Structure 1
Amino acid sequence: MDYQCKAETGVQLLARLSTRPNLNSLNDTLFPGGINLGNVIEISGDSGCGKTTLITQFLVKCLLPKTWNEFQIGGLGAGAIIVNTDHHFQILKLVSMMESLLTKCQVSANNETKFPRNIDCKIIEKIIKESLSNLIILNCYDSLQLFVTFHSLSHILSCNANTNLIIIDSLSAYYWQDAAAGGVRKMDLYLKKTLKALQSCIEEYKVATVYTKQTHFQSKVRFTDDCTATPGLGNITYKIQLNRVGSKEADLFSAEVSTPMSKYSHQYTISDEGLVWVK
């Protein structure tokens, strides 16, 4: 009988044994079944459809705490990393959305306070500062920096056991730069290759990955839909396509979600608080 001994490094052992916060309630509308650590989420859409706004909403939910003393916040109390390549992400927008959500938070119904009260400005400021301490922003300006950043993620994750979400906005930012230098020209293949490079650097850590891309970023010859592929490196769990409904002047949008098992859509508008779902 053959016996095989599988060796692992101390970092691999630590990654396997550590427990990271779950993402089950990251967004109940888009992910009614919840998000599992290790899932890959693709968000595509034209400019102005709310891609960066949506990932900012994800960050608000991820970073804010579940509760603060007697107040019910509803966040996940986890950490996140955003790899900023398109430089559309704005920290002030994130803070503004946090303030808006916290302003609406009241004392828990289980508290014996007779008259519910909102969180005051000083507490809001303190909560936001503590929440932002769990956010790591990595700015990249070319493909070389991007791949070096990918290789640095393992060390960052090993030092931040609370981090459970990595966001890349966007994964296709340096395609034209790389194509001009003689790199991969097929857009789908380029995207899959870049995603595999990322996942090979973080496969020891069970974290969810979200990335954005433009709608047009696909080859003329379509490859097999990643949502139907066998799970593994480079495969996608959720594909979210953001579209404008009607004319360019219309304020109504649609999010079409594809998974290996189902397809569904939800309409929304965009406000200062993020994507507002139309019931």
Structure 2
Amino acid sequence: MSTSTLKVESGIQLLARLTKKPTIQNFYPPLFQSDPKPREVIEITFSEDAPQCLLNDIICTNLLPANFGGAEMGLLMFNCSGNFSYVSLMSRVRTKIMANTTFTGDKIDDIIEGLFNNLFVVEIHDATQYYTTLYNLENVLTAHPNISMIIFDTITAFYWSEQGYKIQKMDTYLKRVLSKIQHVTREHNVIVLYTKPEYFNSHKDVSDNQEPCCEFPCLEGVNYKIGVSYDKDNNYIAKIKSYNIQLEKGFCVTDDEIRWF
């Protein structure tokens, strides 16, 4: 006699499954030739001198409405590094809006207020708060079904504070944290984007036979890997890699504004 396993879903999982996410378009075109799909994972690796303004520019573009060239997404951000600045982001949003409209004054302020209603930032100060917030994430995503992307800056912020007498390899730690995140978020069809420093690697732990963390074609559980570094010509290079794409894009930063080549 054959046996079968009956999968029982919670009320939160049922709501997540029945909730339709907005169609994602114009997801930061300078880096992505095609828009990432729900449940995909994006890794951005920064060198020590790479600018924080790149992440702010990605957030800004994805918040903006379609008529301003944006993706019009709801975003949830785990600010683990303490580098996020509302002032800097608001300045960037205002600059992009003013470049694409003749609106002034109160009208622009109203647009910005509407955009920031779609941005949810959680300030994370230690590992306990990190995981407590993560385990409560299902409730947050259910209460705000317009959230289409979750950002972790940086995903490895509490690595050293979690190490005991036996040090866990960096790649093992990263896979474990990412697996926890995907376990919570997979029913909600959100894009996960995380940053990590360039040095955070334990190359001996990387295997070509690792099981992917997600069901879509990917590299070691990550659909897009973007490495940002400084080159000899005083510009920045972003190396984008996915399971079927490898390309490089250059940019420079002037007065905290990004210009792509």
Same topology, TM > 0.5 = yes
Q: Is the 8 A contact 2:169 2:205 kept in 1?
A: no
> Aligned pair 1:159/2:143, yes or no?
yes
Residue 30 (structure 1) shift: 1.3
Q: Which runs of 5+ in 2 are unaligned?
A: none
CA distance in 2, matches of 1:245, 1:76: 30
Partner of 2:46: 45
Among 48, 73, 76, the residue aligned to 1:78:
73
Residue identity over aligned pairs, in percent, reads 26
- Residues 175 and 43 of structure 1, relative CA distance in 2, 3 Å threshold: same
> How is 1:212-227 mapped onto 2 (pairs within 5 angstroms)?
212-224=195-207
Residue 10 (structure 1) shift: 2.2
CA distance in 2, matches of 1:225, 1:142: 33
> Aligned pair 1:232/2:214, yes or no?
yes
Superposed CA RMSD in Å reads 2.1
Structure 2 length as normaliser, TM-score? Answer: 0.90
> How is 1:104-143 mapped onto 2 (pairs within 5 angstroms)?
104-106=99-101, 118-143=102-127
Q: Is the 8 A contact 1:170 1:212 kept in 2?
A: yes
Mean alpha-carbon deviation: is it higher for 204-213 or for 40-49? 40-49
> Aligned pair 1:96/2:78, yes or no?
no
- Residues 65 and 142 of structure 1, relative CA distance in 2, 3 Å threshold: same
- Residues 200 and 62 of structure 1, relative CA distance in 2, 3 Å threshold: same
CA distance in 1, matches of 2:86, 2:48: 19
Residue 55 (structure 1) shift: 2.1
Q: In the alignment, residue 122 of structure 1 is paired with which amino acid?
A: D
Q: Secondary structure at the match of 2:58?
A: helix
Structure 1 length as normaliser, TM-score? Answer: 0.85
Q: Is the 8 A contact 1:97 1:272 kept in 2?
A: no
> How is 1:16-31 mapped onto 2 (pairs within 5 angstroms)?
16-31=17-32
Q: Secondary structure at the match of 1:101?
A: helix
> How is 1:158-237 mapped onto 2 (pairs within 5 angstroms)?
158-179=142-163, 181-182=164-165, 184-224=167-207, 230=212, 232=214, 235-237=221-223
Q: Is the 8 A contact 1:256 1:265 kept in 2?
A: yes
Residue 128 (structure 1) shift: 0.7
Residue 273 (structure 1) shift: 5.8
Q: Is the 8 A contact 2:12 2:138 kept in 1?
A: no
Q: Which has the larger radius of gyration?
A: 1
Residue 4 (structure 1) shift: 5.3
- Residues 231 and 178 of structure 1, relative CA distance in 2, 3 Å threshold: closer
CA distance in 1, matches of 2:64, 2:73: 8
Residue 231 (structure 1) shift: 5.5
Q: Deviations over 1:59-98 (max 9, x none)?
A: 21222222xxxxx322232211110111011111110000
Q: Is the 8 A contact 1:22 1:36 kept in 2?
A: no
- Residues 121 and 256 of structure 1, relative CA distance in 2, 3 Å threshold: same
Q: Is the 8 A contact 2:28 2:62 kept in 1?
A: no
Q: How many positions carry a matched residue from both structures?
A: 256
